[in-house]
Structure 1
């Protein structure tokens, strides 16, 4: 299991495909996990064109396998009859021990699996950064917004101040 942020992964020569920006706003991120994705050829070609979207996507564990739902990968422009269904469920590749550990946390503590980032790794394989996350309440979201606005104000005042 990884506890790296995507910014640290950027140092490892990865090419970002898609980011779920709402996930950090909607959830408290507890732990991150890197997983491979089972894709068809036209899906990979479409992702190379940057046509992937993680908004509204989520992951579920079914029969000791992890699947990604609602991840939209647009059909490949030159795919003909070999094109794929844009919203089909996609299997994620994790070790059995990792899946069991995640399943135990989801049952026990009320966590959910949320995809944060999709990227090509050094070996040009598509990877997903999943997060074990807990949902935020409305007041938590307001608190985060207020904290970010305050930090922005401080940065703005320090920038304009002559030294």
Structure 2
């Protein structure tokens, strides 16, 4: 039976501070933070403010000097697909599971197998994963370069 667990903004604030403390001694080893859409974006922005590092919005610009942030490493499929294309400095998550195929370098909490975490920036409806968000290999396209 799936159990919905509410994760609060107070817990999030505590966890961001915990991750920032762990990452602060390593800030000279990464240049930017990439937040995996959608769940990792909130964490990435908060870490960006805490650590004084810019946000990367384009996954094609990820390098080995990029910190990757996500809300949860559940099956690990999303992070594994991302890392298959590009090596990164570190991966941080708020939650991880014991059965994930991708173990983050830093995480704050462990999710039990039958728990469904509802983050405070989600609604009950948006929290239900419907399988429509899939990672796709970017097509060769003409994009403008950032300065």
TM-score by length of 2: 0.26
Larger Rg: 1
Structure with the bigger percentage of strand: 1
TM-score by length of 1: 0.25
